[in-house]
Amino acid sequence: KNQVEQSPQSLIILEGKNCTLQCNYTVSPFSNLRWYKQDTGRGPVSLTIMTFSENTKSNGRYTATLDADTKQSSLHITASQLSDSASYICVVSVSGGNEKLTFGTGTRLTIIP
């Protein structure tokens, strides 16, 4: 069964600090992996998309890594800001199209001043 697991479930850090969120997946056949940011009560917003051949991708202060051999990904947030408080969701797409995405349960990140 295709599954995406994330850790930690929740994280609280001080403003300005860095953090790393983890994602493990068992989706097969793999097509691509995405990280989304979801504010409470809002729709997810895409941060990065990585295919099998990509090891890292950055979007401003967000840097995602992918190890397709171990089926792990991470999202690193640098110099956190209060507006980074949100849920971060790892999403994996099955090969053949992105039509059916498998979502992780997310990491709830809280930035405190």
Interacting residue ranges for other proteins, rule: CB under 8 A: 31-32, 34, 41-46, 49, 89, 97-106
Decide whether 44 or 80 has the Cβ nearer to other proteins. Answer: 44
* Minimum distance, C-beta of residue 100 to other proteins, in the bound complex (Å): 5
Beta-carbon contacts of 101 under 8 Å, excluding residues fewer than 6 positions away, are 34, 91, 92, 93
Decide whether 74 or 98 has the Cβ nearer to other proteins. Answer: 98
* Minimum distance, C-beta of residue 5 to other proteins, in the bound complex (Å): 11
Distance CA 111, CA 51 (A): 30
Using CB atoms within 10 Å of the CB of residue 77, give its burial: 0 to 12 exposed, 13 to 18 middle, 19+ buried.
buried
Decide whether 44 or 63 has the Cβ nearer to other proteins. Answer: 44
Distance CA 105, CA 66 (A): 18
* Minimum distance, C-beta of residue 105 to other proteins, in the bound complex (Å): 5
